Amino acid sequence: MGKRWKNAEREVARRLGGTRVPITGRKGCDIVHPYLGVEVKSRASIGIYLWDFLEQAEDGLAQTGESEKIPVAVIHRPGMDYDDALLLVRLKDFPHIIKLGQVK
Protein backbone atom coordinates (compact mmCIF):
# COMPACT_ATOMS: atom_id res chain seq x y z
CA MET A 1 0.00 0.00 0.00
CA GLY A 2 2.83 2.42 0.85
CA LYS A 3 4.34 1.94 -2.61
CA ARG A 4 1.19 2.94 -4.52
CA TRP A 5 2.58 6.40 -5.34
CA LYS A 6 5.83 4.85 -6.56
CA ASN A 7 3.94 2.45 -8.86
CA ALA A 8 1.86 5.35 -10.18
CA GLU A 9 5.04 7.32 -10.99
CA ARG A 10 6.50 4.31 -12.83
CA GLU A 11 3.34 3.74 -14.86
CA VAL A 12 2.95 7.39 -15.84
CA ALA A 13 6.64 7.56 -16.81
CA ARG A 14 6.18 4.49 -19.01
CA ARG A 15 3.08 5.91 -20.68
CA LEU A 16 4.65 9.31 -21.34
CA GLY A 17 7.97 7.94 -22.54
CA GLY A 18 9.91 9.34 -19.59
CA THR A 19 11.94 7.97 -16.70
CA ARG A 20 10.91 7.96 -13.03
CA VAL A 21 13.42 9.67 -10.76
CA PRO A 22 13.95 7.81 -7.45
CA ILE A 23 12.86 9.81 -4.41
CA THR A 24 16.32 9.43 -2.80
CA GLY A 25 18.19 12.55 -3.78
CA ARG A 26 15.39 13.69 -6.10
CA LYS A 27 15.80 17.25 -7.25
CA GLY A 28 13.06 18.39 -9.58
CA CYS A 29 10.09 16.57 -10.98
CA ASP A 30 8.98 12.96 -10.53
CA ILE A 31 9.66 12.05 -14.16
CA VAL A 32 12.47 13.06 -16.52
CA HIS A 33 11.02 13.75 -19.97
CA PRO A 34 12.34 15.48 -23.11
CA TYR A 35 9.83 18.37 -23.00
CA LEU A 36 7.52 17.93 -19.98
CA GLY A 37 8.05 18.55 -16.28
CA VAL A 38 5.89 15.81 -14.77
CA GLU A 39 4.57 15.53 -11.22
CA VAL A 40 2.45 12.46 -10.50
CA LYS A 41 -0.18 12.38 -7.76
CA SER A 42 -2.14 9.26 -6.90
CA ARG A 43 -4.66 10.15 -4.22
CA ALA A 44 -8.24 9.29 -3.39
CA SER A 45 -9.04 12.94 -2.67
CA ILE A 46 -7.57 15.81 -4.66
CA GLY A 47 -9.51 18.81 -3.44
CA ILE A 48 -7.92 22.23 -3.94
CA TYR A 49 -4.43 20.83 -4.35
CA LEU A 50 -4.53 20.92 -8.14
CA TRP A 51 -2.76 24.26 -8.28
CA ASP A 52 -0.20 23.05 -5.75
CA PHE A 53 0.54 20.01 -7.92
CA LEU A 54 1.19 22.13 -11.00
CA GLU A 55 3.25 24.64 -9.02
CA GLN A 56 5.35 21.73 -7.75
CA ALA A 57 6.13 20.77 -11.36
CA GLU A 58 7.03 24.41 -12.13
CA ASP A 59 9.26 24.61 -9.05
CA GLY A 60 10.90 21.30 -10.01
CA LEU A 61 11.79 22.62 -13.44
CA ALA A 62 13.10 25.87 -11.96
CA GLN A 63 15.31 23.92 -9.53
CA THR A 64 16.92 22.00 -12.37
CA GLY A 65 17.18 24.96 -14.76
CA GLU A 66 14.78 23.37 -17.23
CA SER A 67 12.32 26.24 -17.54
CA GLU A 68 11.96 25.57 -21.29
CA LYS A 69 10.01 22.39 -20.48
CA ILE A 70 6.24 22.40 -20.05
CA PRO A 71 5.11 21.73 -16.47
CA VAL A 72 2.27 19.21 -16.16
CA ALA A 73 0.73 17.20 -13.34
CA VAL A 74 -0.83 13.77 -13.80
CA ILE A 75 -3.74 13.11 -11.45
CA HIS A 76 -4.53 9.45 -10.79
CA ARG A 77 -7.03 7.93 -8.39
CA PRO A 78 -6.09 4.56 -6.83
CA GLY A 79 -7.84 1.71 -8.63
CA MET A 80 -8.52 3.87 -11.68
CA ASP A 81 -7.38 2.81 -15.13
CA TYR A 82 -4.34 4.94 -16.02
CA ASP A 83 -6.00 5.83 -19.33
CA ASP A 84 -8.56 7.76 -17.25
CA ALA A 85 -5.98 9.75 -15.27
CA LEU A 86 -6.05 13.50 -15.75
CA LEU A 87 -3.32 15.61 -17.27
CA LEU A 88 -3.23 19.08 -15.76
CA VAL A 89 -1.54 21.80 -17.76
CA ARG A 90 -1.91 25.56 -17.82
CA LEU A 91 -3.97 26.80 -20.73
CA LYS A 92 -1.14 29.07 -21.87
CA ASP A 93 1.10 25.99 -22.30
CA PHE A 94 -1.37 23.89 -24.25
CA PRO A 95 -0.58 25.38 -27.70
CA HIS A 96 3.08 24.50 -27.14
CA ILE A 97 2.11 20.87 -26.49
CA ILE A 98 0.10 20.82 -29.72
CA LYS A 99 3.07 22.22 -31.66
CA LEU A 100 5.38 19.59 -30.19
CA GLY A 101 2.93 16.89 -31.28
CA GLN A 102 3.07 18.18 -34.87
CA VAL A 103 6.86 18.03 -35.10
CA LYS A 104 7.88 14.90 -36.98
> How does pLDDT run across 23-36, given as a tens digit for each residue?
887 889 999 998 88
CB 33 within 8 A of CB 18: yes
CB 40 within 8 A of CB 76: yes
Whole-number percent of the chain with pLDDT over 90: 60
Q: Please, which residues have CB within 8 angstroms of residue 29's CB and are 6 or more apart in sequence?
A: 21, 37, 38, 39, 56, 57, 60, 61, 64, 71
First to last CA, the chain: 41
The full set of domains in the chain, from first to last, is 4-102 (3.40.1350)
pTM of the model: 0.70
Give one word for 61, left, alpha or beta, with left for phi > 0 and alpha for psi -120 to 50.
alpha
Angle at CA of residue 77, ends 81 and 2, nearest 5°: 110
Q: Give strand pairing partners of 20.
A: 31
Residues of the chain with pLDDT under 50: 1
Predicted local confidence at residue 1, as pLDDT: 47
